[in-house]
Structure 1
Amino acid sequence: MMKRRSFVLTSMAAATVAATTLVGCGSSPDAPAETGGSTEPEAEVGTGTGAVDTGKLIVGFDASYPPYGYRDDNGDYTGFDLELAQEVAARNDWEVQLEPIDWDAKDTLLDSGAINCIWNGFTMEGREEDYTFSEPYMLNAQVVVARADSGIASFADLAGKNVITQVDSAAYNLLEGEEAAQADLRATFANLEPTPDYNTAFMQLESGAVDAVACDLSIAAYQLAAKPDAYVQLDEYLSEEHYAVGFKLGDDASADTVTETLRAMDEEGFVEELCEKYADQGISYANWCLA
């Protein structure tokens, strides 16, 4: 079991978050996803549909994943990662298209060219053979959240409990993937239930339908800030990891361009200012790791 390392997270005003109820949805009917570039059979994997090839960054994201990607009170897509993506596109004279997706379908959409990157608090560890990644830009961890009145204070207290997490998430793969790093812990649960999104998971937790949620540290910070008296985060971490932007295997040109653009944005102060904008939603510049 990994020892906990300090992460800097900032609380958010409960009233701000409580007002936002997020539900993922499909593409707008009048703005379908587009693909472009060569379809010649001899083309290398990853070429043809990338942002460098097409001049268009098509961002696949989970619209129920605050503070990285979600709908605001006006119904517009926003979030820390989406604003990073929009700035990267602007600096490279790329068109940008934000595509809310079914998270479980992300690989199919990326392979087909319906999207050409996954940018949404996307953990790279354990996925390195499946995607071409940008360099990591943000520190993260996988944690467990329980109700404050549950009496659950450690991993040992999860024995015989019902735990929920998002399908195909880093937490799910840690607990029940083919090479689950926390298989022994998972074996103590009464049940590990996958769900399409974390909003549903926390509604289930609040109602008492499940006993705990396994999720990203940033998601935990967001939810605890919204309802600080309702939840408690366990001190132990399931893992420590990094967020990066995922591209189709072989799309090194787009990955490298995004990395260098992010680095320039940080050097010019854009990233720190954006972190401050989202500080009340759990984002901290201290966790930015792309130097």
Structure 2
Amino acid sequence: MKKLLVLVLSLAMVLSLSACGNKETKKSNSDSSKKKFTVGFDAEYPPYGYMDSDTGEYTGFDLELAQAVCDMEGWELVKTPIEWASKDAELNNGNIDCIWNGFTINGKEDKYEWSDPYVNNQQVVVVAKNSGITKLADLKDKYVAAQSASAALQLLQKGGDQEKLGKTFKEIQEFPDYNTAFSELEAGTVDAVAMDVGVAKYQVNNRNNNYVILDENLNSEQYGIGFKKGNTELRDKVNADLKKLYDEGKVDELAKKYGIEDMICLGDK
């Protein structure tokens, strides 16, 4: 009798596990059937893309906007952190579908298939509050930091609109990300950081307001989503979804959440 009971219980367990396995297989097949939309982003570029220290998840204005597009299309969002200096290789090799992370259109109009501009941006300079630097001219003979391959760096280097200003610096130092650049500013090894205004505001507000943004900016520009040349089909689909999200108020909702509500330009004529 005991042997029979054991046999019955064993059979029931096998059937139960088999059913669970079938459910998992169905779920897996369902997930794998979803189109994946792979976004390349700088993981240390708040408020556009960064890791939330509380959740350990990547988040930010651009990533939440990308998720909203995926929700509309029924796609699975794949968030792929990239080295900013390697973004073109990642895109052209097919590792990512687009570059979506505070990506400046100006000066690169012909290199990508661009979405419509959605954020107005400025390149600015951040200094320590007690540095005595109050205007761009005060940066003469100073050490200025910028992210590698960034719009700010390109502005200040040869051929950039602020090349003349850049030549007055003691040195322009390149860093892989702005967290590192700010660490150098805190340590006093650089005197200023040239960067995007949205990121600058985030950094200043989260570092006990010991830093200030100079009133004079380096330029004005716009952000867009960059797709590989020739991939107009995906660009057009995402662009149309962005417009719908703007009309529904989702873009403004996210912009307010991340403190950039005064920078949105999607609805501009």
TM-score over 0.5 for the pair = yes
Higher mean Cα deviation, 159-168 or 261-270? 261-270
Q: Distance in 1 between matches of 2:212 and 2:39?
A: 33
2:37 matched residue in structure 1: 57
1:289 matched residue in structure 2: 265
SS of equivalent residue, structure 2 residue 235: helix
Higher helix share: 2
Cα deviations by residue, 1:44-92 (Å, 9 ceiling, x for unpaired): xxxxxxxxxx932110000000010000022111001000001111211
1:33 matched residue in structure 2: none
1:87 matched residue in structure 2: 68
> 1:228, CA displacement in angstroms?
4.8
Q: Distance in 2 between matches of 1:171 and 1:258?
A: 27
> 1:180, CA displacement in angstroms?
1.1
Letter aligned with residue 98 of structure 1: K
Letter aligned with residue 62 of structure 2: D
RMSD: 1.2
1:67 matched residue in structure 2: 47
SS of equivalent residue, structure 1 residue 96: strand
Q: Distance in 2 between matches of 1:248 and 1:81?
A: 18
SS of equivalent residue, structure 2 residue 127: strand
Q: Distance in 2 between matches of 1:254 and 1:179?
A: 32
Identity across matched positions, percent: 49
Q: Distance in 1 between matches of 2:209 and 2:242?
A: 37
Higher relative contact order (CA 8 A, sep 6+): 1
1:246 matched residue in structure 2: 226
Q: Distance in 2 between matches of 1:183 and 1:122?
A: 21
Q: Distance in 2 between matches of 1:222 and 1:253?
A: 34
SS of equivalent residue, structure 1 residue 266: helix
Higher mean Cα deviation, 224-233 or 180-189? 224-233
> 1:223, CA displacement in angstroms?
1.3
Is structure 2 residue 74 aligned with structure 1 residue 98?
Answer: no
Unaligned residue ranges in structure 1 (runs of 5+): 1-53
Cα deviations by residue, 1:211-254 (Å, 9 ceiling, x for unpaired): 00000000111111113541111111111001100000111111
> 1:269, CA displacement in angstroms?
1.3
| Matched ranges for 1:89-238 at <5 A | 89-176=70-157, 178-238=158-218
Is structure 2 residue 233 aligned with structure 1 residue 257?
Answer: no
Higher mean Cα deviation, 157-166 or 248-257? 248-257
Structure whose alpha-carbon radius of gyration is higher = 2
User: How many residues matched?
Assistant: 233
Q: Deviating runs (4+, > 3 A) in structure 1? A: none
SS of equivalent residue, structure 1 residue 151: coil
Report the TM-score when normalising by structure 2: 0.84
SS of equivalent residue, structure 2 residue 79: strand
Q: Distance in 1 between matches of 2:177 and 2:88?
A: 17
Letter aligned with residue 254 of structure 2: L
